[in-house]
Every structure is written in C-alpha cells, then in structure tokens.
Structure 1
Amino acid sequence: MVINPDASAHAHTYLALGDSYTIGESVPARDRWSVQLAELLRKEGVDVADPDLIARTGWTTSELTEAIQRSGNQKTYGLVSLLIGVNNQYRGQDTGRYRTEFRDLLQTAIRFAADEPGRVFVLSIPDWGMTPYAANSRRDRQQIAREIDAFNAVAQEECQKAGIVYIDITPISRTAAGDASQIAEDGLHFSGKQYRLWAEKALPVVKKLL
C-alpha cells in the first residue's frame, strides 16, 4: 500500500485500487493516471489529495482482494477508484469468475467511500493488445480485444447494478497503436502521455462526484 502522508491537508481524500495501470508500472509516480487526475481536479478548484494506492503489477481481482485484506486499511475516503481485470484476461480466467470477484470489489470500494457508491468510479480495462509486447509475442490481437471487451461488458453491467460510475477509457488505449510516445519503455504498459488522456476523460465525470 502506498500512503500519501499529506492527504489530511486536503478537503477530499482519494484511494485508488488496481493493478499495473494504477501503480504506474514503468512510469514515474507523478505520471500515474490517478495522480494526474488529482492534479487536474485541483486545477479545477477541487481540493483533493493525491491518492493512497493499493495496487501492484500482475494482480487479478482475487489478488487485489487479498491485498486489501492484508493492508488492514480501515480508513474511509471522499473518492475511490477501481481499475482491475486485465490480468484475469491475460491468465485466461473466465468472465463468470471475474463477475463474482469484481462485484465483491465494488462493495469493498463502496465501504472505503463511507458507504456512498456515488463517490466511487471505475475505469474500464485498457487494451494491451495495442502494445509492441503483444505484437512481438505474436499474440492474437483481435482475440485480446474481444476478450477485453467481454470483461469490460461485465464490469459495466455490475457498475450499473451498484450505482457506480463507469468510465470507458478502452477506446483511448487503442489509439496508442503505433505511437511509441504513448507506450512505456517496457513495451507493455502505457506512458504518462496515455495516462494523461485517461485522467482528462475522467475529469469532468469525477468532478461531479465531489
């Protein structure tokens, strides 16, 4: 868990839950999409802290759940985000299992938001099939896209049921195809430039939640 020691100095606190995309694999901390979002919100006059994070590269829904439990975090936050599922897809897990575990994570996120689902938002799973890693490993990029879309459909349905905002950044992630500036140095994850686009997409929606 990454703690922001200055969070109490702001009117709103923020917790970001996820995997490599939330921890910002291969980019500086300032380039994480959630950190960029907090920065944009402050520029819009919303006094929100940079996020606490419970996120790690490679985590599936079940591993994120276990990590949350291990963290012992009992705090509540003014804003909570969730982005999880790419590793479920990558490991060949089925959408049925994902639905069950994702639904539980939504309820966990709501508890972190002091039982207010209106303070929780979800970002869709980006399409890693657009990356050089996918091309170089000769993975079926169309199949990856179809599977990502299937997992995202589940996430969107569960968000609607729970009354949680769902923000679709997957089409934005697909614009990274062939653009090295949108890809991190590892060839698999996204750069701060691509994360900026996610933050800008989320900004007007999240601003209304606070």
Structure 2
Amino acid sequence: MYIKTLIILCALTSISCGFPNNSTSSQKTNYKYLALGDSYTIGKSVCNHCNYPKQLANRLNATLSKKTSVKIIAKTGWTTTDLLTAIASEKPSIDYDLVTLLIGVNNQYQDKLFSLYEEEFPELLDKAIEFANGKPENVIVLSIPDYAFTPFGQKSGKAEKITSELIKYNAFAQKISLEKGVLFENITLITQNGLKNPKLVASDGLHPSEVAYKKFVEQIFEKATKILR
C-alpha cells in the first residue's frame, strides 16, 4: 500500500523517486553514420550533397522513421596512411550505427608498395569495426572504383596496369573483409561502364559522377537499411 501511494505521489509531483526510467529518452533519437575514405567518399567534382554518403543518408531519411546523420572523414589524395593519421587526429566516437570504408586508390596511383596496403587496410577495418560499436556486421567496405574507364585513365596510357593493380587491391580488401565478418560490396563494375556511359564520370574526367554515386547507393541501400533496422 505504501509503495502504491508513493508511486501515485511521484506521478503527481516533480519529486524524483529513484525508479528506473524506461521512457524513450534513453533511446537514440537518430542513427549515426560514419563514412571513411578519400576523394571517392567526399565526392570530388560533384556537389556537396551528391557524394554517396550524403545520397545514402538522404535516402535512409526518406525511408526510416529515425533520421540519419552522416560524418565524413575523407579528403582528395588520401592514402591509407593519411586516413589513419586523420582518424588519430579526429578521434571518432565508437557509437556509430553504420560505418562505410572505401580506400586504396591513392596507394595505387602514388605507386606505394602493396605491402603498405596489406598492413594498413586491416588496421583501418579494425578501426571501422571499433567505431561501429565493435560490430563488424554494421560495417560496409566498398571496392575501389576503376579509373582506367575514364578519359583520364585512358589518356594516362596505363589503363591495363590500373585495372590489373586495382583487381589486386580489391581482392585483398574483399579477403580481409570476409575474414573479419564485414560486408564487401563490389561497386567497381559500375565504374567500368564509364567509357560506354559518360554520365557515370564527373566533369573532371576522372571521378564518379552524381549518377554513379546514385548507383553505389542503389547497390548498398537495402544492406544499410537492414543494418539500421
């Protein structure tokens, strides 16, 4: 009888009675998404909201009941080493609901030793998992686009070399992703249509266009939705 009276009193007043609060205030009000990468993530030569992380967040916001906020740690020209340095500087929190990782093209472009990628990509993936609440199933790795199928790549005279080296990079990223229980999405095939469909290439003749990024999102959207739900 005393307890029932106390509960009623607490409900009618502003007295804090020490009972556990099971209200939605303890629940997240939105989803947090972290995108890690380089120019392919930040969206070089496309509008601010045209890169694939922003397009993905916008589509998720139109579909899910909770809003998705996106943080991007990426910059044009970044190698795996640069991304590791930026992460150490920015110190992202470890409560992200979704993390994507797309990195490696500048290792190849700058003729870095492949052994560097073999060392640093697994380290980056471990960090991505850490940022995703330690859940590998909440991380998506995207394959490296093939810039051999762009005007820039064709003019370089190294198109075959670019493709063969990126195959090696992507095969390694896929292998490590599978070993760690992380989803690997091959979006390279989309970019290999760049010569047949110029709309897939941005105005700089090198990077993916808004149209290409939309296709990236179409490929990973259902998986991202499943992760957040």
Fold shared by both chains (TM-score > 0.5): yes
Q: Which residue of 2 aligns with 1:89?
A: 108
Q: Is the 8 A contact 2:42 2:74 kept in 1?
A: yes
Q: Which residue of 1 aligns with 2:225?
A: 207
Superposed CA offset, 1:111-144 (max 9, x none): 1111111111110000011111112232x21221
Change (3 A) 1:209 1:142: same
The reply to whether residue 122 of structure 1 matches residue 145 of structure 2 is: no
Larger Rg: 2
Instruction: Give the aligned residue type for 2:103.
Output: I
Give 1:82 deviation, angstroms.
0.3
Q: Is the 8 A contact 1:46 1:207 kept in 2?
A: no
The reply to whether residue 158 of structure 1 matches residue 168 of structure 2 is: no
Q: Is the 8 A contact 2:31 2:69 kept in 1?
A: no
The within-5 A match list for 1:43-192 is 43-45=62-64, 47-138=66-157, 140-192=158-210
> Take 1:111 and 1:91, find their aligned partners in 2: how far apart are those partners?
28
Superposed CA offset, 1:176-207 (max 9, x none): 12433211111111110010000100111222
Instruction: Give the aligned residue type for 2:179.
Output: K
Instruction: Give the aligned residue type for 1:84.
Output: I
Change (3 A) 1:179 1:114: same
> Take 2:56 and 2:146, find their aligned partners in 1: how far apart are those partners?
20
> Take 2:92 and 2:181, find their aligned partners in 1: how far apart are those partners?
24
Identity percentage of aligned residues: 39
Unpaired segments ≥5 residues, structure 1: 1-8
The worse-fitting range, judged by mean Cα deviation, of 177-186 and 14-23 is: 177-186
Quote the RMSD (CA, aligned, Å). Answer: 1.5
The worse-fitting range, judged by mean Cα deviation, of 143-152 and 33-42 is: 33-42
The worse-fitting range, judged by mean Cα deviation, of 198-207 and 175-184 is: 175-184
Greater RCO (Cα-Cα under 8 Å, separation 6 or more):
1
Superposed CA offset, 1:46-77 (max 9, x none): 63424101000000111100011111333521
Q: Is the 8 A contact 2:30 2:69 kept in 1?
A: no
SS of corresponding position for 1:17: strand
SS of corresponding position for 1:12: strand
Q: Which residue of 2 aligns with 1:23?
A: 42
SS of corresponding position for 2:227: coil
